[in-house]
Amino acid sequence: MKLDLERVSLEYPNGFRAINHVSCGIGRGERVAIIGPSGAGKTTLLRLLATALRPTAGTLTVLGADPWRASRGELRRLRGRIGMVHQAPPIPPRQRVVTAVLAGRLGQWPVWRSLASLVYPLDMPGAERMLARMEIADKLFKRCDQLSGGQLQRVGVARVLYQQPDLILTDEPVSAVDPALSDRIIGELNREAIERGVTLVASLHAVDLALHWFPRVIGVKGGEIAFDLPPVRISDAMLRELYASEMAQVPTQDYQPFETMVPGVRRKPVYF
């Protein structure tokens, strides 16, 4: 298994157990969506996979290696193969788009190249290509604080695309983005995963996006896995139960009630 969690737990010092004895395996090239109410542990799970958090119990294998048994150099190289799209892109406001995108490969470049690119961007065509896929190629030399929220989010995605990681993780990448754009972003990430045969694990707020785009959906509730199924096997009742504690409604990207969506269509994942 490319990604393997074996009875993994994460307990915070105050005793709160964010992840409770979770076991799960994800193979190479799989595209998986993680859904669940807020506070369920979706972000924690993702951050465990990103090697940002260390499990307090159990074994974690990422890209075939145990990150917490690895040496500093091995961990760094492992992380260079993991790309994370954040909900709010962590980019300094005054940085230019081109530098922000090129920063995706800092984990792979030698020191001299990283330093040189700071003075003069060394791979502008490469950055431009990724921005073109996100339809903002014209923003190449703009400063990031001159972009709208949606444009900045696309820069964050472009950075991960430029990194060309073996594992793409996304933490609610489109919850602050309008429905049309969010569809394009999720679509582009899926396209990337399929074309390069890499693994994509996306934590999503909107259930309709998850069911539409991903062949495997994991529901997380209370730090545990509630279900791990392809969309056709997930019933409305299961979804309502998943979100029961949080709100009356199952969340969708455009805030339309979940039930109004055409039943058959929403369950058929998109294959390219």
Residues that bind another protein (CB under 8 A): 50-52, 76-84, 86, 90-96, 98-99, 103-104, 106-108, 111, 114-115, 118, 120-121, 124-125, 128-129, 132-133, 140-141, 163, 165, 195
Min separation Cβ 111 and another protein, Å: 7
Helix (H) or strand (E) holding 99: helix 97-102
Residue (37 or 89) nearer to another protein, CB: 89
Cβ–Cβ < 8 Å for 42, 170: no
**Nearest of 179, 213, 257 to residue 35 by alpha carbon:** 213
CA 31 vs. chain centroid, Å, equals: 11
> What is the 8-class DSSP label of residue 259?
G
Residue (15 or 90) nearer to another protein, CB: 90
Cβ–Cβ < 8 Å for 54, 9: no
Query: Residue 213 and residue 187: Cα distance in Å, rounded?
Result: 7
Helix (H) or strand (E) holding 163: helix 149-163
Residue (116 or 265) nearer to another protein, CB: 116
Residue (91 or 239) nearer to another protein, CB: 91
Residue (118 or 232) nearer to another protein, CB: 118
Rg of the Cα atoms in the chain: 19
Residue (35 or 103) nearer to another protein, CB: 103
Cβ–Cβ < 8 Å for 140, 115: no
SS3 131: helix
Residue (15 or 125) nearer to another protein, CB: 125
How far CA 56 is from CA of 3, 12, 53, 76, 224, in Å, comes to: 18, 9, 9, 21, 15
Residue (124 or 229) nearer to another protein, CB: 124
Min separation Cβ 76 and another protein, Å: 5
Taking the CA atoms of residue 86, residue 31, residue 108 and residue 91 in that order, the dihedral angle to the nearest 10 degrees is: -10
Min separation Cβ 253 and another protein, Å: 24
SS3 203: strand
Min separation Cβ 118 and another protein, Å: 6
Min separation Cβ 231 and another protein, Å: 28
Query: Residue 68 and residue 58: Cα distance in Å, rounded?
Result: 11
Taking the CA atoms of residue 168, residue 169, residue 174 and residue 175 in that order, the dihedral angle to the nearest 10 degrees is: 170
Min separation Cβ 55 and another protein, Å: 16
Min separation Cβ 91 and another protein, Å: 6
Min separation Cβ 161 and another protein, Å: 11
